[in-house]
Amino acid sequence: MPAAREAVIVDAVRTPVGKRQGALSGWHPTDLLAHTLSALVDRSGIDPERIDDVVGGCVTQVGEQGCNVIRNSWVAAGLPQSVPATSVDRQCGSSQQALHFAAQGVIAGSYDLAIACGVESMTRAPMASNASGGLGPFSPGFMAACDGQLKTQFEVAQILAARYGIDREAMDELALESHRRAASTTDAGGFEAEIVPVPVRDPDGAETGALLTADEGIRRETSLEKLAALGSAASWDPALAPDITAGNSSQMSDGAAAVLVADRATAEALGLTIRARFHAMTVAGDDAVLVLSAPNPATRRLLERTGMSVDDFDAIECNEAFAAIALMWASEFLPDGDRSRLNPRGGAIALGHPLGASGVRLMTTLLGQLEATGGRYGFQTMCEGGGMANATVIERLP
């Protein structure tokens, strides 16, 4: 009987995350991901002809991100056109799902080498710009199944905060800590190994001579007082989400990230560095109205299937789509209040949330944290539109 195949991570890279309308706004998203893919291939030393597939996440697949942006990026990078590529949409978890697909393909024997990646330019393909036309994405049948309810994410975050007893002060405190941790990690050089610097381009795509080397959204000057002064993000009806503000929500961002996934035996035969292995993966669905709640049931499912405990995780990434969601997760799984392992390098509130790239960005940062601290297991989950969540455990390898 053949030995079981293991899916391993060879390398992981990402761009700095740019603000919407910021330093990366002059980049076509196809070229931004192409820049990242080229860096991954160059850093790993892999012959790109050997890649079996490229699977990538992108949420707003319209306009410049339409027509299979992942394939377009691979071609734009000048990489072998004999290598296929496809685009995945599991909303904010799109590139975490791409990681799962790549790893599952390796374990099944369909791939020996695959790339999981993601890209999003929220500047050039604004969020929800793919939701127009006809009756829109939510059909009469969908609305009937949801009792006619369709809520904004701001309102949902407020409802879940109330359900889990999370108040405004706690959300603002988490936001402030996110910025503090991100700034501290940046200043210590903690992100340097994962970041691929990106030349800044002007609106016409010409390089300006500047280079973006660090995440653009970290607010070093913020304070609890400044955060407390912010009004509701639901500006059209603040009563819907009085405690949910721009300060305790993730930033709209531009960015790309990529991971080389391999069969362990293939990586060893090629002399590739093996940094981690995929230990467990799952995905779960929950309430399609309260669309941000699924990280908790996804985590429960993974723990039940693996027999693991949250105590086994040396680092944890729960995407800070909203402070309320990270705190919702922590209220169930870190009830002692010690959140030192949760988003230890800051999260999307500080670093930004380029939707389709965030799953791989989180994995890249999680791996860096494990390597910096000597940790063994890392856990990642994130809420996803439609009421879904992925959950992943990796094991750092010496």
Per the annotation, the verdict on 383 as an active-site residue is yes
- Residue whose structure tokens are 């993601």: 118
Please tell me what DSSP assigns to residue 4. P
> What is the b/e burial string over 55-68, where b = at least 16 CB atoms within 10 angstroms of the residue's CB?
bbbbbbbbebbeeb
If residue 88 lies in a helix (H) or strand (E), which one and from where to where? strand 85-88
If residue 377 lies in a helix (H) or strand (E), which one and from where to where? strand 377-384
User: In this structure, what token pair is assigned to residue 26?
Assistant: 């002059």
Q: Which of 28, 100, 279, 353 does the annotation list as catalytic?
A: 353
Number of CB atoms found within 10 A of residue 226's CB: 13
Do 102 and 115 meet the contact criterion of CB atoms below 8 Å apart? yes
Largest CA distance in the chain: 64
Phi/psi at 106 (nearest 5 deg)? Answer: -65, -50
> What is the b/e burial string over 362-398, where b = at least 16 CB atoms within 10 angstroms of the residue's CB?
bbbbbbbbbeeeebbbbbbbbbbbbbbbbbbbbbbee
Q: Which of 58, 117, 318, 383 does the annotation list as catalytic?
A: 383
Do 375 and 315 meet the contact criterion of CB atoms below 8 Å apart? yes
Write the burial class of residue 40 (CB in 10 Å: 0-12 exposed, 13-18 middle, 19+ buried): buried
Question: Quick one: three-class SS letters along 36-61?
Answer: HHHHHHHHHCCCHHHCCEEEEECCCC
Strand-pairing partners, residue 315, are 378
For residues 320 and 317, give the distance between their C-alpha atoms in angstroms, rounded to a whole number: 9
Looking only at the bridges linking them, the beta strands covering 53-57 and 113-121 are parallel
Per the annotation, the verdict on 279 as an active-site residue is no
Per the annotation, the verdict on 353 as an active-site residue is yes
Q: Which of 58, 92, 117, 318 does the annotation list as catalytic?
A: 92
208's CB contacts (< 8 A; 6+ apart) are 199, 200, 201, 202
For residues 178 and 314, give the distance between their C-alpha atoms in angstroms, rounded to a whole number: 18
User: In this structure, what token pair is assigned to residue 330?
Assistant: 């922590």
Kindly list the catalytic residues: 92, 353, 383
